[in-house]
Amino acid sequence: MSSAPGHGQPPKAAHSVTRVGIPTRKRPLAAAPVEGPLVDTYGRVHTDLRISVTDRCNFRCSYCMPSEDMTWLPRDGILSYEEIERVARVLKGLGVTAVRLTGGEPLVRADLPVLVRKLSALGFEDISLTTNGVGLPHLAPALANAGLRRVNVSCDSLDRERFKSITRRDALDAVLEGMGAADAAGLAPVKVNVVLMRGVNDDEVVDFAAFARETGRPVRFIEYMPLDAAHAWERPDVVPGQEILERIDATFPLEPIGSRDDDPAPADRYRFVDGYGEIGVITSVTNNFCGTCNRLRLTADGALRNCLFATQESSVRDLLRSGASDADLEALCRQVVWSKAAGHGIDTPGFTPPERSMSQIGG
């Protein structure tokens, strides 16, 4: 098949380098527009909202948070469901079409189906969830009935002891059970997120590809990012997406699916040539997709962030609790997006990771 990379011809992960890159500013930074789409100064229209509902988690993944001594947000410091609903409604009016709920671990937040139902009633085209999966056997049916459409389940090893070492919890069986519960509830496709770390779990790349083929669940390999609480991240720990694809293609030949020209989603997708499923790679570090980023983030304590790696954020919680109008909220949302940088800057001199870790920002 001439169009499909096979043995000896690994697929090219550089899909987005020449096509996306870092955008060039199209206009000087000034006041945000007061009407029209939610756009930044590079012309990127923002339609995707990530909402963290809690910073708490029942795992302690080594690349995310310390094993002990986590200081959680106070209960009155996080947004209520009514406050989240109001911010989401304002952003829906500005053109946001998709919402993803994150954490921490979102399923540890009480009565999460209540929030899903509120968001569903607003008419978003897509409502999804990223979770470690442990709570899905109990909550998947209620979440689906409330309007949740699909889930991503984090699972960084298929080996029980290694899983326990990474997450500091002996819970692999529970996570796999959660995936099954999501399937049974119709939350499909159940995507599996795998953060690969050199010398930790990168020897399981082909095992996870086989898992994708056997289960029909797309596996998304995510490059390790500098968002750990201990700030111990180092570039050599990153397993590049190109290397991941080459390893898989040597055993299970791959061919690309679609093009990022028409899809701002972060994963470059590949199907197995024989038709047995697909995988994806998220190359946040080695081959960034900043040029098509359409995401805005709301943290559990109500900070609005225009980038996962942003070093500045604006509080919608303070506005909400000071009696601000929807017009005030809209103006803040527009300004936050308008001030978005060209890219995350990981490869630039003097790069400084955000003070908050992934669990405090929301994945």
Q: Respond yes or no on whether the N-terminal peptide bond of residue 189 is cis (omega within 30° of 0).
A: yes
Domain boundaries, the chain: 14-23+39-345+352-361
pLDDT value at 184 more than 70: yes
Tell me the torsion sign for CA atoms 15, 17, 18, 20: positive
What's the pLDDT at 204?
Answer: 98
Lowest mean pLDDT among 241-245, 247-251, 342-346, 354-358: 354-358
Of the candidates 305, 297, 360, 324, the residue with the CA atom closest to the CA atom of residue 77:
360
What's the pLDDT at 251?
Answer: 98
pLDDT digit string (tens) for 343-363? Answer: 776 766 776 766 776 667 766
pTM: 0.88
Question: Which amino acid is located at 31 in the chain?
Answer: A
Q: Which CATH superfamily is domain 14-23+39-345+352-361 in?
A: Aldolase class I (3.20.20.70)
**Average of per-residue pLDDT values in the chain:** 86
Question: Which amino acid is located at 317 in the chain?
Answer: R
pLDDT digit string (tens) for 12-59? Answer: 433 332 223 445 555 445 688 888 899 999 999 999 999 999 999 988
Calculate mean pLDDT across residues 216-221. Answer: 97
Of the candidates 250, 288, 251, 313, the residue with the CA atom closest to the CA atom of residue 21:
288
For residues 334 and 38, the answer to whether their CB atoms sit within 8 Å is yes
pLDDT digit string (tens) for 70-89? Answer: 788 899 999 999 999 999 99
pLDDT digit string (tens) for 282-323? Answer: 988 888 778 789 999 999 999 999 988 777 889 999 999 999
For residues 193 and 155, the answer to whether their CB atoms sit within 8 Å is yes
- E strand intervals along the chain: 48-52, 98-102, 126-131, 150-154, 191-196, 219-223, 254-257, 268-272, 278-282, 295-298, 303-305, 314-315
Of the candidates 213, 211, 223, 189, the residue with the CA atom closest to the CA atom of residue 271:
213
The two three-digit tokens of residue 229, written as one number: 């609480």
Determine whether 239 is exposed, middle or buried from the number of CB atoms within 10 Å of its CB (0-12, 13-18, 19+). Answer: buried
Pairing relationship of beta strands 126-131 and 98-102 according to DSSP bridges: parallel
Alpha carbons 300 and 115: distance in angstroms, whole number: 13
